[in-house]
């Protein structure tokens, strides 16, 4: 038949109808553009032409590139553990504990988890409901890792010793499962802090507290997780400090940056609880008054994780010194003083006890007498810490 046929073309950009005659039907040139379109395609030329076409950038590119190309904490752990599978397992257990605690905090309001639990902890602080939940999470995650021999928690009176030989490993972990929990009911940032030791005793017997009652210089890994507007995990393996942020979309910590304190001391910020000022010794009192006279800003959250995190990123100084009321200070050595001091020093800062036990000393060189022992804290940039220490001379 020579009657024309209506052909409907469908394409990505548009579609249209065309009446096609019998001659063209027989020639099999049913393509847009007729015979010109039927010519064989030169694939090499097509590739070159395609390569010349550049994709138009969009405002979403930086966001997508970061999520796709950023190093995950899991990747970083595998690299930093240098083939130590047990250490990699421990760090993955810690990051999992942080994720679960973060999720519990997010749901605390609707789940009715605000408020006191009606008891005190090992160090005499009032215990919140979330303190107990966070402690259970950390203990279970670390126990199930199969690589821990001894655990010390702020919420537990005594150390937790892993007796079962098939479930214990070479690491001793001290941790504060929820630091700053007095702020949790008003939705202020809180955090978890931890330090990791490798046991000294042989593997044939369970660990003892002597395996963890050691100076902070023996710590192999330390870190903290801050639960705020974002959940961030800051860790050190003793070679610098790295910062990761939790992407809630797929539950993975992504690398943000290396943490390095400003070389010039950074912003002029002092952070301390001035409610204790009447109990301070003269050098601390003089330093704080000098800060006020020299344009320093006062910033104090009351959660050590938040205050130290800001100090690391912005500069300045954080103080929780000994005083007449608390001659050893208030903060605990194993799971607050040591890990934060190690992180501060690895980030280029300085940490000191101030005047403690009759001398000026480095926090990491304190020898703890028991698992909940305390020490004074002065940490931050060299510019500011050195000024405090000079007042003791």
Please state, in angstroms and as integers, the Cα–Cα distance from residue 31 to each residue in 7, 13, 18, 34, 306, following that order: 10, 15, 10, 6, 67
Closest CA to 207 of 221, 218, 215, 197: 197
179-183 long-range Cβ contacts below 8 angstroms, 24+ apart = 179/224, 179/303, 179/304, 179/305, 179/336, 180/301, 180/302, 180/303, 180/304, 180/305, 180/306, 181/128, 181/130, 181/131, 181/134, 182/125, 182/126, 182/128, 182/302, 183/301, 183/302, 183/303
Which residue among the candidates 73, 150, 151, 155 is catalytic per the annotation?
Answer: 155
d(CA 114, CA 129): 6
Compute the distance between CA of residue 298 and CA of residue 295 in angstroms, rounded to an integer. 10
Look at residue 172 and give its three-state secondary structure.
Answer: strand
Q: 102 with 191: CB under 8 angstroms?
A: no
Told to judge if 125 belongs to the known catalytic residues of this protein, a careful annotator would answer yes
Q: Which of 249, 196, 256 is nearest to 232 (CA)?
A: 256
User: How many Cβ atoms sit within 10 Å of the Cβ of residue 25?
Assistant: 15
Neighbour count for residue 136 (Cβ, 10 Å): 16
- From 73, 90, 131, 211, the catalytic residue: 131
Cα–Cα nearest to 261, from 349, 202, 340, 329: 349
The alpha helices in 70-201, defined as continuous H runs, are: 73-80, 85-106, 129-145
Q: For the chain, first and last CA: distance in Å?
A: 111
Question: Known catalytic residue: 179?
Answer: yes
Does 154 qualify as catalytic in the annotation? yes
| Annotated catalytic residue, options 18, 29, 84, 125 | 125
Catalytic, out of 113, 178, 331, 334? 178
Name the phi and psi angles at 345, rounded to 5.
-70, -40
Q: Find where tokens 């020639």 sit.
A: 27
Active-site residue flag, 176: yes
Report how far residue 152's alpha carbon sits from residue 93's, in angstroms, rounded to the nearest whole number: 16
Please tell me which residue in 135, 154, 232, 384 is annotated as part of the active site: 154
The rounded distance, in Å, linking the Cα atoms of 67 and 248 is: 11
179, 211, 252, 345: the catalytic one is 179
> Cα 194–246–70 angle (5° rounding)?
110
- Select which of 135, 252, 336, 384 is catalytic: 336
Active-site residue, selected from the candidate residues 73, 150, 151, 176: 176
List the catalytic residues. 125, 131, 154-155, 176, 178-179, 336
């Amino acid at each position: 038949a020579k009657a024309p046929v209506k052909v409907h073309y469908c394409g990505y950009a548009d579609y249209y109808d065309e009446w096609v005659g019998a001659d063209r039907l027989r020639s099999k040139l049913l393509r847009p553009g007729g015979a010109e379109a039927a010519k064989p395609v030169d694939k090499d030329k097509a590739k070159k032409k395609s390569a010349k076409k550049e994709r138009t950038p969009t405002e979403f590119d930086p966001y997508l590139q970061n999520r796709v190309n950023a190093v995950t904490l899991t990747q970083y752990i595998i690299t930093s553990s240098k083939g130590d599978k047990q250490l990699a397992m421990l760090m993955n257990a810690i990051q999992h504990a942080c994720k679960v605690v973060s999720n519990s905090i997010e749901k605390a309001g609707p789940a009715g988890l605000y408020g006191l639990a009606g008891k005190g902890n090992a160090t005499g602080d009032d215990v919140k409901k979330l303190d107990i939940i966070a402690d259970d999470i950390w203990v279970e995650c670390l126990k199930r890792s199969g690589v821990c021999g001894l655990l010390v928690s702020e919420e537990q009176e005594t150390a937790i010793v892993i007796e079962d030989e098939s479930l214990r490993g070479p690491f001793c972990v001290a941790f504060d499962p929820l630091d700053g929990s007095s702020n949790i009911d008003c939705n202020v940032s809180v955090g978890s802090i931890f330090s990791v030791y490798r046991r000294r005793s042989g593997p044939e017997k369970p660990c003892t507290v002597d395996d963890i009652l050691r100076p902070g210089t023996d710590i192999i890994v330390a870190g903290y997780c801050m639960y705020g507007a974002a959940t961030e995990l800051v860790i050190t393996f003793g070679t610098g400090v790295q910062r990761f942020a939790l992407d809630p979309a797929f539950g993975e910590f992504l690398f943000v940056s290396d943490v390095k304190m400003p070389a010039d001391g950074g912003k002029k910020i002092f952070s301390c609880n001035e409610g204790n000022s009447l109990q301070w010794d003269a050098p601390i009192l003089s330093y704080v008054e000098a800060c006020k006279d020299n344009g320093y800003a006062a910033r104090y959250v009351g959660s050590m994780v938040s205050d130290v995190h800001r100090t690391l990123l912005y500069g300045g100084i954080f103080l929780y010194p000994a005083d007449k009321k608390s001659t050893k200070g208030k903060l605990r050595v194993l799971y607050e003083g040591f890990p934060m001091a190690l992180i501060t020093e690895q980030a280029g800062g300085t940490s000191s006890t101030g005047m403690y036990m009759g001398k000026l000393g480095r926090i990491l060189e304190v020898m703890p007498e028991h698992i909940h022992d305390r020490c004074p804290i002065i940490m931050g940039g060299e510019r500011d810490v050195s000024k405090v220490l000079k007042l003791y001379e």
